[in-house]
Structure 1
Amino acid sequence: MPGRHIHTAGERIDVERFRVFAIHPIAHASQQREIAQALRFVRAPHPGDASTRTGGCPATNPLVCLELPVDRPVCHTDAVASSPARPSPAVRILDTANRLFYDEGFRVGIDRVISESKVAKASFYRAYPSKDDLIVAVLRRRHEEWTRWFVRRVDALTTERGRSLVRLADALGEWFARDDFRGSPFTNAMADASLPRTAVEVVHRHDEALRRALLAYLEHVGLEASDEVADQVSLIVEGAIVRAQRADRPDAAAAAARAAASLLARLDRPV
């Protein structure tokens, strides 16, 4: 309900906004569990249960814990713990692959990832037995980072400018204007014919998670939260991302954001 807040890891979070927008995991496993319990999304984990011992995720809400087709449910804790000053080889590999795959595509070779990560080949294969495993890990990280940013940015813009579907386009426009914008890593991945099945499933789960978040936001802004409307909004969002990536005109990104805002405004009629 409006005005209620919880405090986690030094952050003050509006409970109602968090509830209706179905925000993805924010930072750490302890913070996830605290938020989830406060909102009654998940059962309180027992101190001895496997999820707290192994880093598994007890959540049942798909935006609190996105269950991907890998060895276990994927939570924000999947990043390998290491000192900020001395990243582990696994973290360096993931950081490097995350950058290279987004900038140049998934055809970047393992030898180059190993070289730029400055790790031994044995360290690479201990962390990621195959390139397919690394691709899945990169897509998982991209999902977590992008979803967290997008949800929080739309939430902030909604607070600043008022409830409207146009806030989605506002956030997209900011992303499109970044120097490192290379389009959607998930759309880019699907264009790669050699993408492994497990990675394709990660992309599909990302799409479903985004659609669920859009459904929640439709309800939050007082619009019809139906599958049909969510599909329309999702199509506008995804189409704008693809259009912004094209380099056939210098203002392609800005034009895509404006077009998305115009189309979303037409749907912006409270029920």
Structure 2
Amino acid sequence: MSASKRDELVQNALKAFYRGGFHAIGMDALAKETGVSKTAMYKHFRTKEDLILATLRLRDEQFRNWLVRRVEALATTPRDRLLSIFDALAEWFREPEFRSCMFIKASSEYQDRNHPIHAASAEHKRLLLVYIEGLARAAGAKAPDALGRQLLTLKEGAIVLAHLHDPETAAADARAAAEILIGNAGL
């Protein structure tokens, strides 16, 4: 299997896992959905979990790149970019294929904190926190690390509630709470 075929397999597996879950989608279903035989899959990925890790790496790259680009397109100042995180989330929540966060799903299916899939999910959230803290620092927040954690908590809660309830309300409520936190941070 060429590198481009491998990349195509990872992209298609990402879609299948995002839509159906990690434990629910077996290798037989992946082979059927991707058009790649199980034998070919196992030539590149020793285990299903290795394939899951590859999909998580791809999703991390895609999501963080998208979020940063969207935030920068929506606002020009660091303070406004902190709020535009929630505007970007609202756009994501409106997408027909929105199915919550792949990393929240992965960490709930692989709950042992020492498991590589759980660790990859935690790393994604850590990298998002670094980004948000950087914006808070650039905006001049009194305690940028604390503000970053608080805004990440709002972001994650909004994702869960958008999936369970009303996407519009979740994004708007999280943005309103973010405005209060940002104001309390001296911005």
Pairwise same-fold verdict (TM > 0.5): yes
Runs of 4+ residues deviating >4 angstroms:
193-196
Picking from 102, 115, 126, the partner of 2:18 is 102
Change (3 A) 1:98 1:164: closer
Q: Is structure 2 residue 53 aligned with structure 1 residue 136?
A: yes
Question: Does the CA contact (< 8 Å) of 2:110 and 2:117 recur in 1?
Answer: no
Deviation string 1:121-151 (CA, Å, 9 cap, x unpaired) is 3211111110010111111111000000001
Aligned pairs, how many?
Answer: 182
Instruction: Summarize the alignment of residues 228-267 of structure 1 with structure 2, pairs less than 5 Å apart.
Output: 228-247=146-165, 252-267=166-181
Instruction: Summarize the alignment of residues 77-156 of structure 1 with structure 2, pairs less than 5 Å apart.
Output: 81-82=3-4, 88=5, 90-107=6-23, 108-156=25-73
What displacement does 1:220 show? 2.7
Answer with 178-187 or 221-230: which moved more: 221-230
What displacement does 1:194 show? 7.1
> What TM-score, normalized to structure 2?
0.89
C-alpha distance in 2, partners of 1:203/1:197? 10
**Secondary structure of the residue that 2:106 maps to in structure 1?**
helix
Question: Does the CA contact (< 8 Å) of 2:27 and 2:38 recur in 1?
Answer: no
Deviation string 1:189-225 (CA, Å, 9 cap, x unpaired) is 1221477811111011111101100001112333235
Higher helix share: 2
C-alpha distance in 2, partners of 1:225/1:149? 26
What displacement does 1:164 show? 4.9
Root-mean-square deviation (CA), in Å? 2.2
Structure whose CA Rg is larger: 1
Q: Which has the higher contact order (CA 8 A, sep 6+)?
A: 2
C-alpha distance in 1, partners of 2:110/2:80? 40
Deviation string 1:89-117 (CA, Å, 9 cap, x unpaired) is x2232122111100010020001111222
C-alpha distance in 2, partners of 1:136/1:191? 15
Change (3 A) 1:131 1:219: same
Q: Which amino acid aligns with 2:65?
A: R
**Secondary structure of the residue that 2:76 maps to in structure 1?**
helix
Instruction: Summarize the alignment of residues 169-188 of structure 1 with structure 2, pairs less than 5 Å apart.
Output: 169-188=86-105
